[in-house]
Structure 1
């Protein structure tokens, strides 16, 4: 197990995790971390990568290392979600952990934002989480256990110029996840949110306009009302994955309906 991944060797052995948006960035880091701790991971994406780690050697009797299997999933399509969840449960077993990571970012001032970009943003970032959480949550409730973690954004808790649709969609997803957690608590299912700040992913780098972009993100920008990052660094995807792993683990067994900001202090919370 990589030394930087917190937790006990084999902590998620015999558990099945479904991760959306696992083709790159935070989703890929979450999938790899859970597999390193023993989970059988269904790494789903609309265009999943094929270079995911293979299953552990079947002769490894300590079952401390899991596996990552790739599945195609369009979270905006309810039928696709239902089919994929059915397939995952047939091939890997009942889903114990759902991690909602799939998301998109479209930026523009509200007065210039298109109807199409608004609809697409909410289709993935909000409705997609509804589709996957409903499909998996009803199964978890019937079995009396499970954990759902939604990867949101610190933009859900602080206004951002040019990011109204993204921020609103993430705020909706966070409140949805908390309401779901309240509804499913009696069934033993926990639901929490991890809210990253600026993280070194393709989505983040698409916003950069020059060689000093990373420095400017860390320093902040008064013209756009952005504070900097007090810890002085942009997050790695693994930083976010570590928080997800903790909330998915039995070490967080009494935590539900919470939103954990992992942003280096950028929102001054």
Structure 2
């Protein structure tokens, strides 16, 4: 019988690596895990951003469980060697990693035939190869200990065509399938691998797409010219909405869930 408290994920005492933790969804995930007593290694290519996050969180006592730690690590997930070295350092500093959350991502928009080689390669380097690098470094360590949870934050664009977003959508779709294949390979070792697929979420990335004051309304209502549906729940997600889904999948409340793709998009993809 599980000793998980209904309504409260049991995570206290574990160690998590969160990429892309400098802002938006990644920062929300780091805050949520820390509040539940998880020691968090917050990483981002922007070292100053995660340093500031770590400083803020360190001033707060976790809401439950034993005292947790939070540390910032500058990290470019496209650099495989740097990822391996950072994972080594995290485990020396904080202890064995039990949770990996892949949030780091970039968006380059343009019609498919107008994307540059650099747009394409850089998008895949961060959004797909970055997930490969972190998983390759962490999954074998988890498997050796017989437990672990990996959650990749992808996008609902991975499951539905979007105009002007072919590189982003393709890179996220690749990350989704990589994560599911990883989950199949490591299931017998007690490592669960799942995906959270957000829709439009109020982050700096989302706001970079808003070119005028009516842009949020078009997101809610949909845009026939770009073949895009609106959001049935009539709200743009808050980063915390996505973080809550990540925390659930990382926790023992989801102990029998692996290789799944959870869409958190207010019904926008009509799935």
How far apart are residue 16 of structure 1 and its match? 0.1
Confirm or deny that 1:163 pairs with 2:138: no
What is the aligned residue count? 261
Q: Is residue 31–residue 57 contact of structure 2 (8 Å, CA) maintained in 1? A: no
More helix by share: 2
* Higher mean C-alpha displacement, 29-38 vs 41-50: 41-50
Corresponding residue of 2:106: 104
Corresponding residue of 2:3: none
How far apart are residue 65 of structure 1 and its match? 5.3
In the TM superposition, what are the counterparts of 1:224-239 in structure 2 within 5 Å? 224-239=226-241
Corresponding residue of 1:181: 183
| SS of corresponding position for 1:51 | helix
Corresponding residue of 1:121: 123
Q: Is residue 21–residue 103 contact of structure 1 (8 Å, CA) maintained in 2? A: yes
TM-score normalised to structure 1 length: 0.94
How far apart are residue 64 of structure 1 and its match? 4.6
Q: Is residue 21–residue 43 contact of structure 2 (8 Å, CA) maintained in 1? A: yes
Corresponding residue of 2:18: 19
Change (3 A) 1:250 1:79: same
C-alpha distance in 1, partners of 2:115/2:180?
29
C-alpha distance in 1, partners of 2:114/2:97?
41
- Any idea what the Cα deviations from partners look like across 1:69-102, whole Å, max 9, x if unmatched? 1111110000110010000000000100000000
Corresponding residue of 1:3: none
How far apart are residue 12 of structure 1 and its match? 1.7
Corresponding residue of 2:31: 32
How far apart are residue 63 of structure 1 and its match? 3.4
How far apart are residue 7 of structure 1 and its match? 4.9
How far apart are residue 247 of structure 1 and its match? 0.3
- Any idea what the Cα deviations from partners look like across 1:142-197, whole Å, max 9, x if unmatched? 11110000000000000000000000000000000000000000000000000000
Q: Is residue 124–residue 171 contact of structure 2 (8 Å, CA) maintained in 1? A: yes
| SS of corresponding position for 2:220 | helix
TM-score normalised to structure 2 length: 0.93
Q: Is residue 36–residue 64 contact of structure 1 (8 Å, CA) maintained in 2? A: no
Corresponding residue of 1:133: 135
| SS of corresponding position for 1:165 | helix
